[in-house]
Chains A and B, each alone.
Chain A
Amino acid sequence: MPEGHLEIGAIVTLEKPEFNRLLVAIQEQGYETLGPTIQDDTIQYNRINGLDDLPRGMTSKQDAGYYRLEYSGHNNYFDVTPGPQSWKGQFFPPRTELLTLYRQNKRDWSAEKTQPNQPPTALIGVRPCELAAIQVQDRVFLRNDLSDPLYLSRRERTFILVANCLHPGGTCFCVSMGTGPRSHSGFDLSLTELNDVFLMEIGSEAGRAILADLPWQPAAAFSLQAAERGFEYAIRHMGRTIPDVERLPEALLNDLENQQYDDVAKRCLSCTNCTQVCPTCFCWDVQEVNNLSGSEVRRERVWDSCFNPMYTYVFGGNTRPNTRSRYRQWITHKLASWYYQFGVSGCVGCGRCITWCPAGIDITAEANALLSEVKA
């Protein structure tokens, strides 16, 4: 065991093979460990038990409407940026049971709430943009006046190990949104992968306790410098940028008839892909799932999308009847009204909506076009 005392905020190094013991230590605390794995030619979050489960040597080529995993020849475990899946589903699953209604007879019924039963989960290799997205959703679901109980029960039983980004992907723009490439707080542990070691930062007491029993070493100055150089490289190699993010809230809401919306409406398929892959999109619908006799009804919460035709349906029609109005809702909510509702942008710059748009629509290009169109 090394000399010295570990404190929250301390940065130490861990030999890469020790990562396996780190996972075991986390599992021994009762957490299921989920992390990036290769599945279906992309990165998916599955149970991981050691370094062998990670996508070693892989990188991804990403562009508008384009994604390929590629073998890059290096030996790093955490170099590949995320695929379509985000951690959103951990706290806000695509389909959750809210309650069950039991019909006693034709006139009367009873309701029973569903008890949350998610096992404690450790999220391994959370990217800074993804941690920012979790913090954005915290603002949505954990308000001062009302917290969503299902979200809360999952969120408070979660251990987060961040993997800072040194090699951003082609659709990344976290620097524009101020969410990366490095996380500064909100995690239990963070790692920065150097060629020979993991640089570990301690973010919480839970993280400190787990790392304390492992053979960590004080971080050498050249390791810290290597990490700094890595972050500088990442900042310079962002795939995308939005130069005037702070102008967006006012500019977009003051120019709702911008003709760029007519242009994007011709390209957008209203397919909802962007909202499904977005790590902050939180809209949901309520569905009734009946048994055959109608005596038992599960009321379920399912992901919805502002691109769905029925999203705005009220008697008499849809208040957003076309793609132009739906895209406008999506981008103005993401980049503008979110500030007024939750005090932050709804976009963290992860680039998923660009990569996974079948029409290759690029939120950064649209935002820049909207800004340039705005009458000064």
Chain B
Amino acid sequence: MTAYSPQQTAAISLVSPMLPFRAEILSVQPEAPLVSTYWMRFLDPELRTSYQFKPGQFNMLSIPGMGEAAISISSDSNDHQRVGHTVRFVGNVTNAISRLKAGDVIGVRGPFGTSWPLEDHHGKDIFIAAGGIGLPPLRPILYQVMAQRNNFGRVVVIYGARTPDDLQFTREYKAWEEAGIELIITVDRGDEKWTGLVGVVPLMFYRLRMDPRKSVVYTCGPEIMIRFVIFEALARRITPDQIYVSMERNMRCGLGLCGHCQLGPYFVCKDGPVFTYEQLQPYFNVEDL
């Protein structure tokens, strides 16, 4: 995790860092009820080729008159043709995004924040634990793993959603498994057609045999889920510096300037969103921090 600093490869104006860059929506892919992936590309052809991000980073998406929202990037960081954001429609900005169609123009600033340090984990077993809308910031990892599968040991994805309908990226599961990624898909409540696992994400750790000497955990999802994922990982002797957590807080700028996203001494937008549990340990279990 390198410290954040705007690069030449970013859609961030140093003379006006709050200025959004225009990007055209290429297509909208519904993923689940109230969740869609927006594929977009910058209108500026130079920016289109220079823009780069790392898995786990986020952009500020904006709609004139509605404002900005911090949305993680869910697409392949090696795909320089387009950028994907998987959005859940829950607030003013995201509901405005839900009304966008292919051809509409959206504002983008970014990328911001720290990334999953996958390049430091060659040869390791990667355990990815995601809940609900916590999967999109981890999906760039799966693209990376598929492109260089031999660089890693086991790669396991534990993914949980509330109901089978809420599961995202279902059409990609087969490709992930064929690439040698172990999938553990679970739901909180099944329906009449569901024959898979039922239970929350941390519960599924009982199905795993993890070698603490060579395992790392990446997790993102509701904070209560993260808390118990950490608990399960620690119980399997994974050390706090090998547990990586992506946090969510209210963000208005992405630059570490507006103050909203503070968590203890950190600005989540700049020092995070990806932290090691070692960094968060003194603060994670403090209520209402």
Contacts and interface: CB of A to CB of B under 8 A. Distances in A.
B110 to A, nearest CB: 13
A253 B105 contact: no
A145 B107 contact: no
Contacts of B17: 146, 148-149
Interface string A313-333: 111000111101100110001
A255 B6 CA distance: 35
A229 interface: no
A253 B264 contact: yes
A19 B100 CA distance: 62
B45 interface: no
Interface stretch (B8-16, B48-56, B173-181, B187-195): B8-16
A29 interface: no
Contact of B259 (A287, A297, A306, A320): A306
B103 A333 contact: no
Given A101-B65, A145-B4, A290-B65, A337 B282 contact: no
Interface string B240-261: 0000000011101101111110
A256 to B, nearest CB: 5
Nearest to B255: A146
Contacts of A253: 264-265, 282
Interface of B is mostly: loop
Interface string A268-281: 00000000000000
Contacts of A336: 265
Interface of A: 98-99, 101, 103, 106-111, 113-114, 140-141, 143, 145-146, 148-149, 253-254, 256-257, 282-288, 290, 294, 297, 299, 301, 304, 306, 311-315, 319-322, 324-325, 328-329, 333, 336-337, 340-341
A98 B4 CA distance: 22
Given A101-B64, A297-B65, A282 B18 contact: no
Given A108-B105, A146-B255, A313-B250, A337 B18 contact: no
A321 B104 CA distance: 37
Contacts of A287: 67
A107 B101 CA distance: 9
B234 interface: no
Interface of A is mostly: mixed
Interface residues of B, number: 46
Interface of B: 3-6, 13-20, 22, 64-68, 88, 90-91, 103-105, 107, 248-250, 252-253, 255-260, 262, 264-265, 267, 282-283, 286-289
Contact of B22 (A111, A114, A284, A337): A111
B288 A304 contact: no
Contact of B250 (A145, A311, A322): A311
Contacts of A311: 250, 260
Contacts of A288: 64-67
B252 A257 contact: no
Given A254-B282, A320-B288, A325-B288, A99 B267 contact: no
Contact of A98 (B18, B103, B267): B18
Contacts of B3: 145
A282 B259 contact: yes
B265 A113 contact: no
B288 A145 contact: no
A113 B21 CA distance: 11
A107 B288 contact: no
Nearest to B223: A319
B38 to A, nearest CB: 14
Q: Enumerate the 4 nearest inter-chain pairs by beta-carbon distance, A residue then B residue, closest first.
A: A283-B259, A325-B288, A113-B16, A340-B265
A286 B91 contact: no
Nearest to B222: A316
B286 A285 contact: no
27 contacts: A101-B107, A107-B103, A107-B104, A108-B104, A108-B105, A111-B20, A113-B19, A148-B17, A149-B15, A253-B265, A284-B253, A285-B252, A286-B253, A288-B64, A290-B65, A294-B64, A297-B65, A312-B249, A313-B250, A314-B249, A314-B250, A319-B249, A324-B288, A329-B289, A337-B264, A340-B265, A341-B267
